[in-house]
Structure 1
Amino acid sequence: MLEQLEDIGGAAQPLLEVKGLVKHFPVGGGLFARKKMVQAVDDVSFTVAKGETVGIVGESGCGKSTTARLLMQLMPRNAGDIVFDGQLVGEAMSLRELRRAMQMVFQDSYASLNPRLTIEESIAFGPKVHGMGDTEARTLARDLLTKVGLRPETFANRYPHEVSGGQRQRVNIARALALNPRLVILDESVSALDKSVEAQVLNLLMDLKREFGLTYLFISHDLNVVRYISDRVLVMYLGQVVELGPVDAVWDSPAHPYTQALLAAMPASDPDRRTEVAPITGDPPNPIDPPSGCRFHTRCTFCEAVCESTVPKLSDALTEGHQAACHMVIPGSGHSRAPAAETAA
């Protein structure tokens, strides 16, 4: 399966490329008053290579789920391009084609399923919409139930309310795989599960990735889960990407103060390593009127004048492929901790 994926468009070409994605939501405003805009996603760019898992982390309201819904075309974007395996979504690639190639598993396992359809009917629904016969679609549904660890003879004719949360999420994963997608977006797909069930679903996802040659975009608040399942991690803050790189590099040497604070806030099982001082204080600024310059400067202990006036661009940090949008890693940015600017030979 992986060989087939590499043959389509070339192995070096990213499976998903996002360029300058923007989504602003209008709020308030009367008849004559000017409407204000919530800057939910503001100039987000990243790539996802074939066969890898990219994790997206950040506080609530940073734009993670909005980004996922924009990729799935569940809401219109204000600006930006989405390129799937070399095809521009909306022009060279239709929405119907995108739905076959990209699927999503949502956080709420119960709300994601039609309560009037049996589990077998829910999984078979998508393939039938795309032209598969009823008998073939039901056979596929039962095969996928087996793949996700649910016995078809037990679960196929049950309704969503008759199974547990972990079992419902397995059904949603089977439903996402029914169209044989190449990319699966997992939006907080294990956050509502208890830890034992969460571990089972995570291991299932990794097994399915190997078996079907899948690529994952994994969104979660749980940093331990992200490190376990991801190859690279993308950190978002107030609608923007502030750090991006291999998961081990970001965990071992976080370059952005916000990433450092997120990692410092992780609970430790060792009582001698308890967090006694809050690594980050205050609430995120209002996305309707975000701060100028670096959006994190109002909560950053390293803030200087350049942070308030100039927007930092993603720049290489300590290792290749590890980037951070922080003036402290940009050579010659004007920050006292920034490396010296390189001089031309």
Structure 2
Amino acid sequence: MHVNLDVGGPAQPLLTVRGLVKHFPLKKDAFGRGGGVVHAVDGVDFEVLKGETLGVVGESGCGKSTTARLLMQLMEPTAGEVIFDGRTVGSRDLPLKEFRRQVQMVFQDSYASLNPRLTIEDSVAFGPQVHGLPRRDAVARARNLLDRVGLAPARFAERYPHELSGGQRQRVNIARALALQPRMVILDEAVSALDKSVEAQVLNLLTDLKAEFGLTYVFISHDLNVVHYMSDRVMVMYLGQVAEIGPSDALFEQPAHPYTAALLSSMPSMDPDRRTEEAPLAGDPPNPIQPPAGCRFHPRCGLAAPVCAQQVPQRTWATPVRMVACLQHESGSGHPNALPLRQVA
């Protein structure tokens, strides 16, 4: 794994997220009904280490993309803070313009992400020009990056987005993200709209670029196989909260949270003897306007105990490198599978 030894030293996380919350208020109707808030992201804490790829997985509506937009400050958080290399994002110490030069994002919709009136070359060169690079240098950088992502400038620089395929447009978006020479790239379902052969090419390109430029990735996807392939560590989200976070191989081999286990058991297998006979998870996620009390996963959990409906699980270390929010792993929680609270002599 490539480790970036930039500002702050290798021991300090590149990105630290503390108590991140995003609630979307709902309007009441003419009769005063409705209202309330959607708990899209509800108290998320995690770190991204320098040079790693942190994968983020979970069902649709779990808060993955909202978290990505909060990290980029594309929307105002309800609460919490984002710290980038020891400096609070949006403060006088780290203004948004400087932060966005160092952190870039690639979105899912490759066509909507590009201005249809700009050529490919101008789209990639636009960011550096906004940040003060002379046009000639910005165009030279754009052409170099287009070549690096497999789009020969002589053929593609003067084309417009509608003249490219989905995979080619996503390569343009990757080149545009790298044009400001960032230290971190957030990839929000960046390959989910591509067919499998093109997806594999783009994933290999992302792996090569990470090593070449010393990048750090936050890789958001619903495809568990892709996340396992790309990630050093994986964060599992459920209904706006972190269920589990830990090293990719360990998490996929032995999940600690029941929700993680259910997600992994839903992965299709090529082995006919390992066919899924019954659904690993029943029902839909609960309403984010009125989340369940206690553990949010307990209505769908096969290992739930009465205490799970009353007590909110604390984030605990299941192993020295694995964090999980489940009462089974919380000593003295009252769950039948939990270890008793150790008595202090």
Is TM (by shorter chain) over 0.5?
yes
Residue type at the aligned position of 1:294: C
Q: Which moved more, 1:119-128 or 1:322-331?
A: 322-331
Give a deviation string over 1:195-235, Cα, whole Å, max 9, x none: 11111000000000000000000000000000000000000
* Alpha-carbon distance between aligned partners in 2 of 1:254 and 1:3, rounded to the nearest angstrom: 26
Counting only pairs closer than 5 Å after superposition, residues 96-111 of structure 1 correspond to structure 2 as 96-111=97-112
Aligned to 2:304: 303
Per the TM alignment, residue 123 of structure 1 is displaced from its structure 2 partner at its CA by 0.1
Per the TM alignment, residue 4 of structure 1 is displaced from its structure 2 partner at its CA by 9.9
Give the unaligned 5+ runs of structure 1: none
* Alpha-carbon distance between aligned partners in 1 of 2:113 and 2:312, rounded to the nearest angstrom: 39
* Alpha-carbon distance between aligned partners in 1 of 2:284 and 2:314, rounded to the nearest angstrom: 23
Per the TM alignment, residue 168 of structure 1 is displaced from its structure 2 partner at its CA by 0.5
* Alpha-carbon distance between aligned partners in 2 of 1:17 and 1:231, rounded to the nearest angstrom: 17
Residue type at the aligned position of 2:160: Y
Q: Quick check: 1:76 aligned with 2:76?
A: yes
Give a deviation string over 1:229-272, Cα, whole Å, max 9, x none: 00000000000000000011111110111000000000111122
Aligned to 2:20: 21
Q: Quick check: 1:160 aligned with 2:161?
A: yes
Residue type at the aligned position of 2:205: L
* Alpha-carbon distance between aligned partners in 1 of 2:179 and 2:215, rounded to the nearest angstrom: 13
Aligned to 1:245: 246
Q: Please list every run of at least 4 consecutive aligned residues from structure 1 whose deviation after the TM superposition is greater than 4 angstroms.
A: 2-5, 31-34
Aligned to 1:211: 212
* Alpha-carbon distance between aligned partners in 2 of 1:276 and 1:4, rounded to the nearest angstrom: 43
Per the TM alignment, residue 343 of structure 1 is displaced from its structure 2 partner at its CA by 2.4
Percent of pairs with identical residues: 65
Aligned to 1:47: 47
> Quick one: structure 1 residues 4 and 292, their matched pair in 2 at CA, closer, same or farther if it must change by over 3 Å?
closer
Aligned to 1:119: 120
Counting only pairs closer than 5 Å after superposition, residues 312-331 of structure 1 correspond to structure 2 as 312-317=313-318, 319-331=319-331
> Quick one: structure 1 residues 4 and 265, their matched pair in 2 at CA, closer, same or farther if it must change by over 3 Å?
closer
Q: Which moved more, 1:61-70 or 1:127-136?
A: 127-136
Residue type at the aligned position of 2:306: A
* Alpha-carbon distance between aligned partners in 1 of 2:307 and 2:216, rounded to the nearest angstrom: 39
Aligned to 1:89: 89
Maintained 8 Å contact 2:4/2:215: no
Give the TM-score normalised by structure 1.
0.97
Give the TM-score normalised by structure 2.
0.97
Computed over aligned residues only, the root mean square deviation of the Cα atoms, in angstroms, reads: 1.4
SS of 1:244 mapped into structure 2: strand
Per the TM alignment, residue 320 of structure 1 is displaced from its structure 2 partner at its CA by 1.4
Give a deviation string over 1:77-136, Cα, whole Å, max 9, x none: 000010000000111211101110100000000000000000000000000001111111
Give a deviation string over 1:145-198, Cα, whole Å, max 9, x none: 111111110110010011111110000000000000001000000001111111
* Alpha-carbon distance between aligned partners in 2 of 1:342 and 1:171, rounded to the nearest angstrom: 56
Aligned to 1:11: 10
Residue type at the aligned position of 2:243: V
> Quick one: structure 1 residues 5 and 266, their matched pair in 2 at CA, closer, same or farther if it must change by over 3 Å?
closer
Per the TM alignment, residue 5 of structure 1 is displaced from its structure 2 partner at its CA by 4.3
> Quick one: structure 1 residues 333 and 71, their matched pair in 2 at CA, closer, same or farther if it must change by over 3 Å?
same
Per the TM alignment, residue 314 of structure 1 is displaced from its structure 2 partner at its CA by 1.3
* Alpha-carbon distance between aligned partners in 2 of 1:47 and 1:323, rounded to the nearest angstrom: 12
Per the TM alignment, residue 342 of structure 1 is displaced from its structure 2 partner at its CA by 2.1
Maintained 8 Å contact 2:3/2:10: no
SS of 1:6 mapped into structure 2: coil
Aligned to 2:37: 37
Residue type at the aligned position of 2:252: W
Residue type at the aligned position of 1:27: L
Counting only pairs closer than 5 Å after superposition, residues 280-299 of structure 1 correspond to structure 2 as 280-299=281-300
SS of 2:340 mapped into structure 1: coil
Per the TM alignment, residue 11 of structure 1 is displaced from its structure 2 partner at its CA by 1.3
Counting only pairs closer than 5 Å after superposition, residues 152-231 of structure 1 correspond to structure 2 as 152-231=153-232
Matched length: 343
* Alpha-carbon distance between aligned partners in 2 of 1:291 and 1:212, rounded to the nearest angstrom: 44
Per the TM alignment, residue 340 of structure 1 is displaced from its structure 2 partner at its CA by 2.3
Per the TM alignment, residue 30 of structure 1 is displaced from its structure 2 partner at its CA by 3.6
Aligned to 1:337: 337
SS of 2:212 mapped into structure 1: helix
Aligned to 1:131: 132
Maintained 8 Å contact 2:116/2:162: yes
